Chains A and B, each alone.
Chain A
Amino acid sequence: MSFAGRYFREVLRPPYEWREIFYQCYLVGYKSTFLIGLTAFIMGMVLTIQTRPSMADFGAISLIPGMVSVSVVREIGPVITALICCGKVGSRMGAELGSMKVTEQIDAMEVSAINPFRYLVVTRTLATTLMIPLLTILADAIALFGGYIAMNIHDATTLRHFFVAAFAHLEFIDVFPAIIKSFFFGFVIGLIGCYKGYRARRGTESVGVAANSAVVAGSLAVFVIDMLAVQITDILT
C-alpha cells in the first residue's frame, strides 16, 4: 500500500521523464502487438468455430457475430490481453528491476540524486496503464476479424456484413466498462511488476522470484479486478 501511495504522490508531481515514458510505451505497446494480435486472432476464430454447432442447432447462425463481439469486447479481449501482458511485461519489469536492485543500479541512481522511483516505477506503470487499453482495443478488432475468417469456413459472409452484425449487438455498457477496467489492469500489472522487482532482496535467486511473483500476483489481481468490474457493471445496469 505504501508503494502504491508513493506512486500516486510521485505521479502527480511534475516534471515527468517523458523520454523514458515514451520508451516504455514503445516496449509495452508496440513490442507486444504481434503476440497480442496473434492470440486475439486465434481466440476469435476458436470462439466462432466452437459456438457455431450450438448456434446452428437453434438456427441462430446469424447471431454468431453478435455473440462473438459481446464476448470478446466485454470479457475475453480485456482479460486475455491483460494476462498476456502480465506474462510478458510484468515478468520483464520484475526481472529488470530485480536485477537492477541486486547489482546496486537502483542504489547508484539514488546516490546520484536521481529519484529511481520516478524514473523506474512511475514511467513503467504509466506506460502499462496507457498501453494496455490500446492493446485491448487492438485485440478486440483482430479477434472479430478472426471470427469473420472462421465464419467463412462454413458460411459465406462479407467483412462489412459481419462487422455490421457484430456492432449491432454492442451497446455503450458493453464497451465503456471494458475499456475502463483495462486501465486498471494496466495499472496493477505495472505496479505489481515494479513492486516485486524494486523490493527484490540481494542475490540472483531473488531476480527469478521477482519475475515469477510479478506474474502470479499480477494475474490474480487481474481476475480480482475483473470480478469487481463485473459486479459494479451489473449494479449499474
Chain B
Amino acid sequence: MTEQTNDIAEQKRVARNEHHEPVITIRGLKKSFKDHEVLKGVDLEVRKGENLVILGKSGSGKSVLIKCLVGLERPDEGEIKVLGQDPSTLKYDELNVLRVRVGFLFQNAALYDSMTVKENLLFPLRMHKKTMTQEKKDARIMEMLENVGLEDAIDQLPSRLSGGQSKRIGLARTLILRPEIMLYDEPTTGLDTGTSREISELMIRTKKKYNISSITITHDMLCAKLTADRIIMLREGVIIAEGSYEELEKSRDEWIRSFFY
C-alpha cells in the first residue's frame, strides 16, 4: 500500500510539472442567493491534466462554484472560461455543446432510477451519438463498465446497487461521452474508507487513461490526498489557501489544520 501511495505521489509531482494551458479560468466570481453571499470573488485556474481539489466546510460555496461551470447556476459577477468559453453567456444550444465536453459526477450519482445500468449508459449515447452503430454503443458501454469493474451489473436497476456501485456507474455514465474535464461533487461522501479509497483510485486511473482535467469537491481527506495535484481551501466564499496536500498539512492556520487532524 505504501509503495502504491508513493507511486501516486510521484505521478502527481510529474503531473504538476507537465501542466500546460488552463482549461478552466475563473476571475472574480460572485454569487448570492437572496441576501446570502455564497461566493465573494473567487479566482482560480485549472490546467490541462490537473486535478484541483476544493476543500471547505458545508455551505462554503463549493458546489455552487462547480455548478456555475456547467451553467446550472448563473454567476452574479465575474468571468468564467471553460475550454475557452463562458457558460453564462452561451445560448442554450451552444451551452449544450460545451456540456458534452464537461462531465459532472453528482454527490448521489443521480442515476435515472427508471432505467437499468445499461440504459443509463446508453441514454447519453442515444442522444448525442446518433450516427454511432448499436455495436459500437454496446462496445463503449462494456468498456466503461470494465473501467469501473461492474460488468456484471449491466442489467440491474440503480435501486439494487450499493452507494459505491452507484458512484462507479455514475462515473461510467459521465465518462461515456469522453469529456475533457470532470467535475466531481463529493465523490466519496457517505462511503466507507475502503470504498472511498477505491473510488479515489478509480478517479486517478480515469484521469491517466483519458487525460482528463478535473475539479473535485470533497470533505474526504483521503480522497484529497490521493487525487489532488493541487488543493484550494474555500472559507465562506473566499479562497484562503492554496498548495499541495503536503504543504497545506504543515500550515499553522488553525482552521486549515482542522481538516488534516
In Å, the complex CA distance between A107 and B72 comes to: 8
Q: Fill in one digit per residue for B108-135: 1 if any A CB lies within 8 Å of its CB, else 0.
A: 1011111000000001100110000000
B100 adjacent to A108 (CB under 8 Å): no
CB contacts (< 8 Å) of A107 on chain B: these are 72, 106, 110
In Å, the complex CA distance between A163 and B174 comes to: 59
Is A110 among interface residues, defined by CB-CB distance under 8 A?
Answer: yes
B110 adjacent to A104 (CB under 8 Å): yes
* Shortest Cβ distance from residue A13 to the other chain B in the assembled complex, whole angstroms: 11
Is B139 among interface residues, defined by CB-CB distance under 8 A?
Answer: no
Interface centre among A99, A105, A108 (most CB of B within 10 A): A108
With A103-B113, A105-B113 given, is the CB distance from A111 to B70 under 8 Å?
Answer: yes
CB contacts (< 8 Å) of B99 on chain A: these are 110-113
With A103-B108, A104-B106, A108-B106 given, is the CB distance from A113 to B128 under 8 Å?
Answer: yes
Interface of chain A, helix or strand or loop or mixed? helix
CB contacts (< 8 Å) of A103 on chain B: these are 108, 110, 113
Is B97 among interface residues, defined by CB-CB distance under 8 A?
Answer: yes
Q: Fill in one digit per residue for B155-182: 1 if any A CB lies within 8 Å of its CB, else 0.
A: 0000000000000000000100100000
Q: Fill in one digit per residue for A88-102: 1 if any B CB lies within 8 Å of its CB, else 0.
A: 000000001001100
Is A38 among interface residues, defined by CB-CB distance under 8 A?
Answer: no
Is A114 among interface residues, defined by CB-CB distance under 8 A?
Answer: yes
Q: Fill in one digit per residue for B176-213: 1 if any A CB lies within 8 Å of its CB, else 0.
A: 01000000000000000000000000000000000000
CB contacts (< 8 Å) of B251 on chain A: these are none
Nearest residue in B to A102 (C-beta to C-beta)? B108
B102 adjacent to A105 (CB under 8 Å): no
Give chain B's interface residue range (CB within 8 Å of chain A).
Answer: 20 to 34
In Å, the complex CA distance between A159 and B107 comes to: 62
CB contacts (< 8 Å) of A108 on chain B: these are 104, 106, 110, 112
With A104-B110, A105-B110 given, is the CB distance from A112 to B72 under 8 Å?
Answer: no
A111 adjacent to B113 (CB under 8 Å): no
A114 adjacent to B127 (CB under 8 Å): yes
B106 adjacent to A113 (CB under 8 Å): no
With A103-B113, A105-B113 given, is the CB distance from A111 to B108 under 8 Å?
Answer: no
B112 adjacent to A112 (CB under 8 Å): no
Is B58 among interface residues, defined by CB-CB distance under 8 A?
Answer: no
* Shortest Cβ distance from residue B141 to the other chain A in the assembled complex, whole angstroms: 15
* Shortest Cβ distance from residue B3 to the other chain A in the assembled complex, whole angstroms: 37
Across chains A and B, which 9 residue pairs bring their CB atoms closest together, nearest first?
Answer: A113-B96, A108-B110, A113-B99, A104-B110, A111-B104, A113-B100, A104-B106, A111-B70, A114-B127
22 pairs from A and B in contact (CB 8 Å cutoff)? A96-B114, A99-B113, A103-B108, A103-B110, A104-B106, A104-B110, A105-B110, A105-B111, A105-B112, A108-B104, A108-B110, A108-B112, A110-B70, A110-B72, A111-B70, A111-B99, A111-B104, A112-B100, A112-B127, A113-B97, A114-B123, A115-B92
